[in-house]
Structure 1
Amino acid sequence: MPLSKIKVIAFDADDTLWVNETFFRKAEEEFCELLEDFMPKEEANKLLFDVEMKNLPLYGYGIKPFTLSLIEAAITISNGSTTVDLIQKLIEKGKQMLQEPIELIDGIDVTLDVLSKKYRLVMATKGDLLDQERKLINSGLEKYFHHIEIVSDKTEKQYSKLVKHLDINVEEFLMVGNSLKSDVLPVLNIGAHAFHIPFHTTWVHEMVEEEVRHPNFKSFTKASQLLDYL
């Protein structure tokens, strides 16, 4: 379908508008170092991931659920002998992550400025409502968006609801994001367009092995390249 039909462009937030995953990887490394007396780092990291996956249906995505998983994993790894001091360190790590300064993805502000003059722009992301709203405000990018959509997960059903809410046809919708699993595949499956801009670090849960081949799909290395097509 031609890009000339696009009316609304939705952007993912974390690692599409601003840096996010880097903070999680750093926290994981520090966690494994703290628990090294109980378990080798690689094993501890795998156990933490398993705990996160188990908790995902209950807690959803975001820093606060991640912090709870850190605490639970620490208790498991230490066989219940973890100290109050260690738990406090993990809580403080979560608070620190919530207060990290916003680092915009290179070129995203200029790209949004140009596109906002031609299209309706939407921020469509998953995660914790309070945290994502705070990051959006602190980013200085809020002025570019016509609508903000923060959901518990990104599924075909959620994207279809968003398209309906925006009162457009599915072929008039374009999603831009760093995750093939969340930002690309479900969007293509409903018949819309999807652009992929990979971030240098990807959470294991968001990785897909399949190569995407679809007429409504394009991949870029940086945000400014969108302007060559839109």
Structure 2
Amino acid sequence: MKYYRPVRPFKAISFDLDDTLYDNHPIIKKAESAIIEHLNNSYPELAQLTQKQWLLYKDLIAKEFPELQHDVSLWRIKTLTRVMTIYGIPQFKAVEYAKHAFSEFLKLRSDFTVPLESIQLLEKLAESYPVIAITNGNVDEFQIRLHDKFKFILKAGDGLKAKPHADLFIEAARRLNIEVSDILHVGDHLISDVYGAQNNGAQAVWFNPNQQSLNGARLLPTVEISHLDHLYKLL
């Protein structure tokens, strides 16, 4: 546990989800591979679609519609629709098929169990503070059984820009009837979580289980931890 600044009193704790409460990298890698296989097998027109081609189209859509990077679900649906039409599926069918394919992806990317240690931590912290989640991702909190572990979960999209923008932090403070500066945010990413929190007035706890360096950081966190249970020391 490493302190970079004195910890101010706080009134609520917010958590990032992916790669903070669970290791998301292998989950996403497996889901991305499985959804391509699903598309290959479900739609004859997409039988030859590869992972590399999918990523190229996804990047193309992001360049064409940069605002979609604030809504990863809509970004994926629009990419699916575009790919399907390019490969010869009529537009009216592609819109419907894309929604079905996205639902399948959401099931795949949410097909895991959150570590018991994370669940127990959330339950313990909730005895002393309102505990919320602020995420740029689109995991299905019901499928992974986190829906009842937070006062509420805020996801980027639907008019709320992704971290490190202020939107999610401001909305969280509004719902809690506190100031953004009253929030202690816990997350793994130096830009979206640490910079996002610190730059917008909240305090940031950097979860760094792999002992990564601070290279690329824009602002220092308040505290750095390598294990989530270090948070107990801040209570």
Q: TM-score, normalised by structure 1?
A: 0.67
Change (3 A) 1:81 1:10: closer
Structure 2 unaligned segments of length 5 or more: list them. 41-45
Bigger shift: residues 182-191 or 88-97: 88-97
* Cα distance change on mapping 1:48 and 1:36 into 2, 3 Å: farther
What is the CA-CA distance between 1:94 and the residue it aligns to?
2.7
CA distance in 1, matches of 2:53, 2:105: 23
Tell me which residue corresponds to 1:183.
Answer: 193
Q: What is the deviation of 1:199?
A: 8.6
Shift of the alpha carbon at 1:164?
4.2
2:81 aligned with 1:45, yes or no? no
Q: Distance in 2 between matches of 1:28 and 1:138?
A: 18
Per-residue CA distance 1:191-217 (angstroms, 9 max, x = gap)? 2211233699xxxxxxx9613552x43
1:94 corresponding residue in structure 2: 102
Q: 1:217 aligns with which of 219, 222, 229?
A: 222
The answer for the alignment partner of 1:6 in structure 2 is: 10
What secondary structure is seen at the aligned counterpart in 2 of 1:95?
A: helix
Q: 1: CA distance between counterparts of 2:98 and 2:215?
A: 32
Number of aligned positions between the proteins: 210
| Corresponding residue number in structure 2 for 1:103 | 113
1:114 aligns to what?
A: 124
Partner Cα separation in structure 1 for residue 107 and residue 32 of structure 2: 17
SS where residue 13 of structure 2 aligns?
Answer: strand
SS in 2 for 1:5: coil
- Paired-residue identity, %: 20
| Correspondence for 1:146 | 151
Q: CA, structure 1 residues 198+49, in 2 after alignment: closer, same or farther (shift >3 Å)? A: farther
Aligned residue identity for 1:95: S
Instruction: Provide Cα deviations, 1:119-172, integer angstroms capped at 9, x if missing partner.
Output: 1111223456xxx6xx33343333432333334223224423432442334432
* 1:194 alignment partner in structure 2: 204
The 8 Å contact of residues 47 and 73 in structure 1, kept in 2 or not, is answered as yes
Which residue of structure 2 lines up, in the alignment, with residue 136 of structure 1?
Answer: 141
* Cα distance in 2 between the residues matched to 1:212 and 1:105: 30
CA contact under 8 A between 1:104 and 1:139: conserved in structure 2? yes
Please give the residue correspondences for 1:22-41 in structure 2 after superposition, counting only pairs within 5 Å.
22-29=26-33, 31=36
Distance (Å, rounded) in 1 between the aligned partners of 2:47 and 2:224: 40
Q: In structure 2, give the amino acid aligned to 1:227.
A: Y
**Counterparts of 2:234 and 2:125, CA distance in 1:** 11
Q: Which letter does structure 2 place at the counterpart of 1:110? A: Q
Task: Return the offset for 1:111.
Answer: 1.0
8 Å CA contact 2:203–2:222 kept in 1: the answer is yes
Among 169, 177, 183, the residue aligned to 1:167: 177
Asked whether the equivalents of residues 63 and 97 of structure 1 are also in contact (C-alpha less than 8 Å), the reply is: no
Q: How far apart, in 2, do the equivalents of 1:118 and 1:81 lie?
A: 54
Say which SS state the counterpart of residue 142 (structure 2) adopts: helix
Q: CA RMSD in A?
A: 3.9
TM-score between the two structures when normalised by the length of structure 2: 0.66
Equivalent residue number for residue 228 of structure 1: 233
Q: Distance in 1 between matches of 2:146 and 2:112?
A: 11
**8 Å CA contact retained: 2:58, 2:76:** no
Contact 2:7/2:222 (8 A) holds in 1: no
Structure 2 residue matching 1:176: 3-state secondary structure: strand
User: Aligned equivalents of 2:32 and 2:65: distance in 1?
Assistant: 16
Residue pair 1:9, 1:175 contacting (<8 A) in 2 also? yes
